[in-house]
Amino acid sequence: MALVSAESTNPSSFNGSDSSGGNKINRYESQKRRDWNTFCQYLRNHRPVPISASMCNGTHVLEFLHYLDQFGKTKVHNPTCPFFGMPNPPSPCACPLRQAWGSLDALIGRLRAAYDQEIHGGSNPFGDGAVRFYLRDVRDFQSKARGVSYHKKRKRPNRNITTTSQSSS
């Protein structure tokens, strides 16, 4: 995680909640600027070759989102975990921490706006269909894995149905 450690460009900072009051517009603008800088830094460090922001596409955006997962703070249970689908597991488990869907969705919204400001012409990679599909997948999977459903919870937690729901590429 050497890429953007320390200082204010820490990519996990977009998880921060707005508790300090202040001007909401300015906070949004400064957050958008930080997010954009983080993304550009990511592109500059891209291997094997650096990428300029005007050259990036939806694939790079998806790579960036995957990269951010290492800074995530949201426990997302694997389908094989006994706590899959349980909102409040009784004990810790080894499942990974991820970026919460809501954070990613808000981030993409800010970056999409920043891209339109910074890059003139070309199609906006943050509006790419692949990115939208990915976000939808993340939302659906996290709602299952964390036991957070848009519907009211079912009577019986069904623990063994989960092996078919894996949707990784």
Q: Is 95 in the site for Zn ion (CB under 5 A)?
A: yes
- Please report, in angstroms and rounded to a whole number, the separation of the first and last CA atoms in the chain: 24
Compute the least distance from the CB of residue 144 to Zn ion, in Å. Answer: 13
Count of residues engaged in binding Zn ion, rule: CB under 5 A = 5
User: What is the per-residue burial (b if ≥16 Cβ within 10 Å, else e) of 30-40?
Assistant: ebbebbbebbb
Q: Is 146 in the site for Zn ion (CB under 5 A)?
A: no
For Cα atoms 75, 77, 80, give the angle at the middle one, nearest 5 degrees. Answer: 160
Contact between 84 and 77 under an 8 Å Cβ cutoff? The reply is: yes
Choices 15-23, 42-50, 93-101, 140-148 (CB under 5 A): range interacting with Zn ion: 93-101
By C-beta, is 38 or 99 nearer to Zn ion?
99
Q: Supply φ then ψ for residue 92, to 5 degrees.
A: -70, 160
Q: Is 77 in the site for Zn ion (CB under 5 A)?
A: yes
Compute the least distance from the CB of residue 90 to Zn ion, in Å. Answer: 11
By C-beta, is 1 or 97 nearer to Zn ion?
97
Compute the least distance from the CB of residue 91 to Zn ion, in Å. Answer: 10
Compute the least distance from the CB of residue 153 to Zn ion, in Å. Answer: 18
Secondary structure percentages of the chain, helix, strand, coil, to 5: 50, 0, 45
Binding-site ranges for Zn ion (CB under 5 A): 77, 81, 83, 93, 95
